[in-house]
Amino acid sequence: MALRLDDKKAVVAEVAAIAAKAHSAVAAEYRGLTVSKLTELRKTARESGVYLRVIKNTLARKAVEGTEFACMQDGLVGPLILAFSLEDPGAAGRVIAAFAKDNDKLVPKLVAVGGKQYGASELDRLSKLPTRDQAIGILMGTMKAPVEKFVRTLAEPHAKLARTVAAIRDQKQAA
């Protein structure tokens, strides 16, 4: 069923609002996927904080115009499903990559991050980006490491003295 002009404007406004606050986007061709598989994909995306939308390419081009995903406009060709990461940059990549691994009918076409478009080959790199919690953990570990090394360095002379005294004691007991 064809959309009326008001419906098209509403769809464009909705997708434009999502694209304005999204961290990354992935476009994938879904030709041949069954409705149940698409429903499964949507459920997984919802749980991961990813906005998923099947939209006509002309409407998608208008929706991403003026956002950092305007670079995708030329690549929006064919039956595509758009996935926008709302919580962390790698979420859309993880959802699409995991689903495409099990379903060969879902073919990633475009990846966009930070105003730059990449090919489908970069989906793997995007999907391996750490989540927010993982990134904080890595940062805390990096910040904590120099302090730990400093404390170990300060404690080493005392530990070495204790080991030396223990070795002398053991040597005198053995004699």
Cα–Cα distance for residue pair 91/97, rounded to 1 Å: 10
Render each residue's pLDDT in the chain as its tens digit; 175 residues. 567 888 888 888 888 898 888 888 999 998 888 899 899 989 998 898 899 988 888 888 888 888 888 888 888 888 889 999 888 888 888 899 888 888 888 888 888 888 888 887 888 888 888 888 888 888 898 888 888 888 888 888 888 888 898 999 999 898 7
Quickly list DSSP for 14-68: HHHHHHHH-SEEEEEE-TT--HHHHHHHHHHHHHHTEEEEE--HHHHHHHHTTST
- The answer to whether 13 and 64 are in contact (CB under 8 A) is no
Cα–Cα distance for residue pair 20/160, rounded to 1 Å: 59
- The answer to whether 52 and 82 are in contact (CB under 8 A) is yes
Angle 172-155-148 (CA atoms, 0-180°, nearest 5)?
145
